[in-house]
Amino acid sequence: MKNRPHFIFINPKTTSVKQIKISITKFLLSIGFGLILIGVSLKVAIDMGIKFNHNSQIARLQNENVLLQQQIKLMGEKITVIREHIDQIEELDDKIRARLDIPPLGEDVRLVGIGGSDISNLSHLKLEDLKLQSVILNNQTTLARLEREIKLENDSFEKLLSTMERKEDSLRFLPAIKPVLNGRITDGFGKRRHPIYKRIMEHHGIDLAADRGTPVLAPGDGYINFTGKNGGYGLFISINHKYGFETKYGHLQKIYVRRGQYVKRGDKIGEVGNTGISTAPHLHYEVHYKNKPINPSDYYFNDIKFE
């Protein structure tokens, strides 16, 4: 009879001994079954651990997804506010252009814009894998357009500012006041019967009657072109006001400026006299635009008070 594995159990209380014998086959089967049970237990434990970790990741991603949706919603709300502000800026742009007599920017110009962001720079985000890709792409497209419109409006306002500065400058040089403030027009612009030659002749200016010695003022900023005697005009001054304007003053008694001097509107440049071909003290006043005489009465305003 072959030796079989056996187990001996001793009862600690009674010190009785009990012996159990088992065959090799059963012994090996028992060990194998135990190993299988351990393996299955380990597998179940590992699977449960993996599932728990997976569930934790899903929960984390879900939380991040909720936060992402909240941020995207907030971004959309901010984009709407920016859109409203830009609409107001565009409306103001149109009003300023109307005031400055400049054509408004066409809708086609605003749609095209200048420059802008390239949406392709989001390719590294692999938006096709995101459930929110349509929302993100829509926001990015809107932002790109807003960027273009902001740049366009910035360029527009720079041009408007430049135009306003030029217009302000041109207003300074415009002959906008009567050179003899209380002078009375005795002869107007155009054809008239010459008081000395007694024939119809072109009168390229107006005659402003005033007492001898009445101050003659510069009607706008400019540079003195000429001072001195000038034939029938007697003592004479001409001023270059830039932007195509030139003014001329004849029959003066005194001259207070010199050639090349810069004068401002309201500066005293001379006095009313009776020099040259003249029948009484008065100022002969001419306004030329691009070398052509125009009616001076169209370029001063009686309601302007100047001191």
Q: Where are the domains of the chain?
A: 6-70, 71-173, 184-299
Q: What is the pLDDT of residue 90?
A: 78
Q: How far is CA 165 from the centre of its chain?
A: 16
Distance CA 145, CA 153 (A): 12
Q: Which CATH superfamily is domain 184-299 in?
A: Glucose Permease (Domain IIA) (2.70.70.10)
Q: What is the pLDDT of residue 305?
A: 53
Q: What is the pLDDT of residue 192?
A: 62
Distance CA 237, CA 102 (A): 36
**Residues of the chain whose pLDDT is less than 50?**
1, 114-119, 123, 127-128, 303
Q: What is the pLDDT of residue 253?
A: 96
For 216, phi then psi, to 5°, come to -110, 125
**Residues 149/150/151/155 CA torsion (nearest 10 deg):** 100
Question: In this structure, are residues 234 and 249 in contact, taking their beta carbons and an 8 Å threshold?
Answer: no
Q: What is the pLDDT of residue 70?
A: 75
Question: In this structure, are residues 270 and 217 in contact, taking their beta carbons and an 8 Å threshold?
Answer: no
Amino acid at 246: E
Q: What is the pLDDT of residue 116?
A: 46
pTM of the model: 0.52
Q: What is the pLDDT of residue 236?
A: 97
